[in-house]
Every structure is written in C-alpha cells, then in structure tokens.
Amino acid sequence: MTVLRVVTLVPALLVSFVLTVVVCALLPPALGLLAFMAAGGVLVALAMGQLQRPAIAALTSSRPATEAEFRVMAPVLAELGGRGVDIATLFVRRAQRPSTPVAVAIGRRTVVVSPGLVDATYRGGVTGTEAAAALAHAVGRHRALRPRLELAVLAATTPWRLIVAAFRGIGRAFAWLPFMRLAWTLRGVVGVICVVQSVAEGRSWAGLLGGVVIALTYVVPVAGRRIDLRAEAEADQFVLGLGLGPVLAGLLRRYGHPMTFERMQRLENATDHAAGQPQQPRLHLVHG
C-alpha cells in the first residue's frame, strides 16, 4: 500500500508544485512572493493540525451539519458509538452529484456525508442501521489508508486534481469525435516514438520526459485502482467486525451499487461463514 500511494502522490505533488510556481511567477513579483509564502504557511498550519474545520469545508465542498440534520443523524452516530466507532464531527456536502460519495471520513474523527443520505434517513428510505453501516465503511476505509498529513496533502495536490478534472471534462466533450478513443489507446506507441526520435536527434531529456509522462498515464490509474480495491476490502472487513456486513450488502444491492460476486458473498454470507467455522475442542470436567 505504501508503494502504491507513493506512485500516486509523487506525480500529483510535483505537478501541483510546478503549477503553483508558474502561477505565482505570472503575478507581480511582490504579489507572487506573498501568494507563495501564504500557500506555504497554510500547508504548514494544516500539517500541524490547525485550520481543520475550514480546510475540511473547503476541500470537500461541505459545511458543518445543521441542528436539524444532526438530530436526524444523532441515532446513527449513537449506534456507531455503541459499536466502538467514535465520530466527533459531522459535515454535509453543499451539493450532490452522481459521483458524490455517500460518506467520507477525513481528518480527526470527522465524516462528510451527502445530503441525500440525511434526507433518505429522515424519510425512512434508509434505516438508521444502514446509515451506520455506510458511515462505518467510510471510517474503515480511512483507517485502511492511514493517511499522514491528510489535509495538508489534499490542499497541496489541489492544482493536480483541478487539472485532472479539466482534462476529463475536455475528454468527455470531445469523445464524440472519430478515433479519439483509439488515439488515447495508442498513446503508448506515440510515447515510444517520441523517445526514439528525441534520442536520435540528441534531445534525450525531452524524449525521456515525454515518455515518463505517458508512462504515468498507465501507472497512476492502475495504482489508484489497486489502492481503492485494497481499501475497500479492508473497510469491508471492518464493517464485518462490527456485525454490519449483511446490512451494508442489502443497502448497496437495493440502490444498485456495482459489486463483484466475491464482495457480495463476503458481506452477505458473513453470518453463515462464521456459523460454518469448525468448533474448537473444549475441555469438559466430569465429576463422579
């Protein structure tokens, strides 16, 4: 997991640093220096555990739960507390999109939930136990990832995420053009040609840099998917340990969340699997 996280974080940090330097360089000298120092100061403060609440609100586009929302989720938090999962702060997303996760654990005992989860819990479409299972899975995923300096890293890689989102939007906008998907699929061939041609012309560094960039378009997504799969598996085990595995499976199945057969079986058959375990031999004392 550590190696995979390094593979995904290092390019994001490098690109974000370069973009920040470029933007600051385009500003007037005094303003650029002030902006660069302010950005560095914010990162240091986040690394020291300061500015947690405003940082979470800004990075996740959320806000602290209102009193009415907290009353709805209070039984859910109480149930999790009874199972040993302590959530100190609850945030709610400002907007919900199709890609918005139901719940995300971030920072120190903080969970950010979607407004849809609060509404469904209030209306009865999601039971309190099901909502507790969703929040528990978010907490389990956070524990599996064990992020260090989480908010500082998220803030530092914001330029990278903005660039990725922009390119994805451009890709979706021009996906209708002929051969666009084929061109993206053959980017590895283009990278090899770039490296060979640059080396032949005596511009080795330029060719190698282009080859590394194209190679990262293969490596980073694969590493990200591996991290997601491992974190999901460990979060499932965490939910199973709380006795909420079948509840989570029923919730995901009812709302059409894609699940592999192995994951569905692991969550749904948790009770049967435990019942089918061989019994340990016991020592019985017989008194005459």
Q: What is the DSSP letter of 199?
A: H
Q: What is the 3-state secondary structure (H, E, C) of 65-77?
A: CCHHHHHHHHHHH
Among the listed residues 246, 234, 227, 229, the one whose alpha carbon sits nearest the alpha carbon of residue 133? 246
The C-alpha atoms of residue 203 and residue 196 are separated, in whole angstroms, by: 10
Q: Is residue 280 pLDDT above 70, yes or no?
A: no
pTM for the predicted model, two decimal places: 0.82
Give residue-wise pLDDT tens across range 116-142: 999 999 998 999 999 999 999 999 999
Could you identify the residue written with the tokens 């919900």? 96
The one-letter code for the residue type at 45 is A
- Across the range 190-205, mean pLDDT stands at 79
Phi, psi at 135, each rounded to 5°: -65, -40
Q: Going edge to edge, which strands form the sheet with 110-113? A: 62-64, 89-93, 110-113, 103-106
What's the distance, Cα to Cα, between the start and end of the chain in Å? 58
Phi, psi at 106, each rounded to 5°: -150, 150
The C-alpha atoms of residue 68 and residue 120 are separated, in whole angstroms, by: 14
Q: Is residue 281 pLDDT above 80, yes or no?
A: no
